[in-house]
């Protein structure tokens, strides 16, 4: 009987959490126009979420591009296909790895920080104090962070892709001896601006939206204790990263997997 | 927008760098990694060609004359009554002087490369226009069929 109740409690808890998450999104979107009215706040958050994540994104992109080139080369060279190395690197990055890894890195670096920040504001009653001063904390605190996140992820993704392609170029041509003209030519012949790069950008916007939503929601939904903040931060990273990976599969299936 | 609102000039500067970097990356990806010439030929006219077998021809495969890319494959359907493959080719508007008796063939880039449609210009005075059909076509060479025929003829020779 107790086990049955536990299952029920668990399910209800999950549904309740999901419901609050949805309601939260609606309340946030209702005051989203504040982001444009006070754009300076968004710029400030873009600095903390975007610029601060820049270094880790660039370094990660460089190494991912380099290792893709290295691994791709050893597979392709068996079939005499090393001339397609540029295409392999560019397509892997623009279609999948760029959007996914940039979003996951953003979740780990900026998402966790913002969840902790908002959580601590809630725990120390700063949000309640704002409300007492007739300032809507959602419009003043949450919306700028959310909008900055949605904008930062695609920008970081683009930079990740570029650095990755250049890293792959360095390893492929300088170290492995693929002709540099062939590297660019195979890339330019095979990469479609709208199909590959455009879809990658759409993906990164979706990821940015979901990750930013999760990070501000978990922050506001924090149990106002030290333990609650740590749990909320963990949840942002775990749920955020998993949502990105899961959504990536769905988006890829919708964009490229359809039978035309 | 005052400086105090954003928290100082340093922040504004760095966000500017971030956004500019993003835009430059977009430009780099669009023009260097992808190729805008490669994007869909939007401003073009359509001609049709029926092939008995298109082999591995796919959508967006290039259409070339003398090796120069002038358009791409924009549609592949199966004709209901003849069971031929009907291929829609979109050719860039400024190549408007292809004679109507031009022929279309499906070639392969290299031995195992991607397939493309090669056009061989004819000598007619009239030019192909939107919606016209190319009458002379050569199907793609299917390697397995070729080998099969070769083996078959060799076996016949041996039997005689």
Give the strand pairing for B44-51 and B85-92: antiparallel
- How sure is the predictor about A25, in pLDDT bands with cuts at 50, 70 and 90? very high
pLDDT of residue A150: 95
The Cα of B78 is separated from the nearest Cα of chain A by a number of Å equal to 14
- How sure is the predictor about A20, in pLDDT bands with cuts at 50, 70 and 90? very high
Q: What is the spatial order of strands in the sheet that B115-120 belongs to?
A: B132-134, B44-51, B85-92, B68-78, B62-65, B115-120, B103-108, B136-138
Q: Phi and psi (nearest 5°) for B13?
A: -60, -45
Tokens encoding B80: 């209901």
What is the CB neighbour count within 10 angstroms for residue B55? Answer: 16
pLDDT of residue A165: 94
Is residue A197 within 8 Å of A99, Cβ to Cβ?
no
The Cα of B154 is separated from the nearest Cα of chain A by a number of Å equal to 31
Query: Using alpha carbons only, what angle is made at residue A166 by residues A163 and A172, rounded to the nearest 5 degrees?
Result: 140
Q: Please judge whether B25 and A162 are an interchain contact, meaning their C-beta atoms are less than 8 angstroms apart.
A: yes
Model pTM? 0.77
The C-alpha R_g of chain A, in whole angstroms, comes to 21
What is the CB neighbour count within 10 angstroms for residue A41? Answer: 22
Positive or negative torsion for Cα B51, B57, B59, B60: negative
pLDDT in tens, A101-149: 999 999 999 999 999 999 999 999 999 999 999 888 888 899 999 999 9
Any chain A CB within 8 A of the CB of B19?
A: yes
* Contacts A–B by Cβ distance under 8 A: 92
pLDDT in tens, A184-202: 888 887 888 888 899 999 9
Any chain A CB within 8 A of the CB of B58?
A: no
Choose the mutation target among B4, B7, B18 for the interface with A, i.e. most A CBs under 10 Å: B18
pLDDT of residue A34: 84
Contacts of B15 in chain A (CB under 8 A): 43, 46-47, 50-51
pLDDT of residue A143: 93
Contacts of B14 in chain A (CB under 8 A): 47, 51
How far apart, in whole angstroms, are the C-alpha atoms of residue B106 and residue B128? 19
Is residue A150 within 8 Å of A212, Cβ to Cβ?
yes
pLDDT along chain B (160 residues), means of 10: 61 89 89 67 82 82 86 87 89 87 85 79 88 85 82 86
How far apart, in whole angstroms, are the C-alpha atoms of residue B3 and residue B1? 7
pLDDT in tens, A31-51: 888 888 888 889 999 999 999
Any chain A CB within 8 A of the CB of B20?
A: no
Q: Please judge whether B6 and A184 are an interchain contact, meaning their C-beta atoms are less than 8 angstroms apart.
A: no
Any chain A CB within 8 A of the CB of B26?
A: yes
Give the strand pairing for B44-51 and B68-78: unpaired
Longest CA pairwise span in chain A (Å): 71
């Amino acid at each position: 009987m107790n086990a049955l109740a536990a299952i029920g409690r668990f399910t209800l808890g999950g549904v309740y959490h999901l419901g609050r998450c949805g309601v939260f999104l609606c309340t946030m979107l209702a005051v989203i126009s504040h982001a444009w009215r006070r754009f300076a706040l968004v710029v400030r958050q873009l600095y903390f979420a975007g610029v601060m994540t820049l270094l880790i994104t660039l370094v990660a992109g460089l190494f991912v591009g380099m290792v893709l080139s290295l691994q791709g080369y050893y597979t392709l060279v068996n079939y005499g296909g090393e001339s397609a190395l540029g295409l392999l690197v560019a397509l892997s990055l623009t279609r999948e790895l760029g959007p996914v890894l940039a979003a996951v890195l953003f979740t780990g670096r900026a998402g966790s920080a913002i969840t902790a920040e908002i959580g601590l504001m809630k725990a120390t009653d700063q949000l309640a104090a704002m409300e007492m001063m007739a300032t809507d904390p959602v419009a003043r605190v949450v919306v700028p962070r959310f909008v900055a996140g949605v904008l930062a992820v695609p920008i970081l993704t683009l930079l990740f892709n570029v650095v990755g392609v250049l890293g792959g170029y360095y390893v492929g041509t300088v170290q492995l001896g693929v002709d540099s003209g062939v590297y660019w030519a195979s890339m330019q012949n095979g990469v479609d601006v709208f199909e590959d790069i455009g879809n990658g950008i759409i993906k990164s916007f979706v990821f940015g939206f979901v990750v930013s939503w999760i990070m501000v929601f978990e922050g506001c939904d924090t149990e106002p204790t030290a333990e609650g903040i740590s749990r909320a931060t963990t949840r942002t990273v775990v749920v955020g990263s998993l949502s990105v990976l899961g959504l990536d599969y769905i988006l890829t299936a919708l964009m490229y997997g359809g039978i035309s | 927008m005052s400086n105090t609102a954003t928290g100082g000039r340093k922040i504004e500067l760095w966000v500017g760098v971030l956004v500019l970097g993003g835009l430059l990356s977009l430009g780099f990806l669009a023009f260097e990694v992808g190729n805008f010439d490669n994007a869909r030929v939007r401003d073009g006219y359509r001609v049709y060609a029926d092939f008995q077998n298109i082999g591995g021809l796919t959508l967006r495969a290039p259409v070339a004359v003398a090796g120069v890319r002038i358009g791409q494959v924009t549609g592949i359907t199966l004709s209901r009554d003849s069971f031929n493959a009907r291929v829609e080719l979109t050719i860039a508007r400024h190549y408007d002087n292809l004679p109507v008796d031009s022929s279309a063939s499906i070639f392969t880039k290299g031995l195992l490369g991607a397939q493309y449609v090669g056009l061989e210009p004819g000598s007619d005075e009239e030019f192909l226009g939107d919606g016209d059909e190319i009458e002379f076509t050569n199907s793609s060479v299917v390697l397995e069929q070729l080998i099969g025929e070769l083996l078959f003829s060799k076996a016949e020779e041996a039997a005689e």
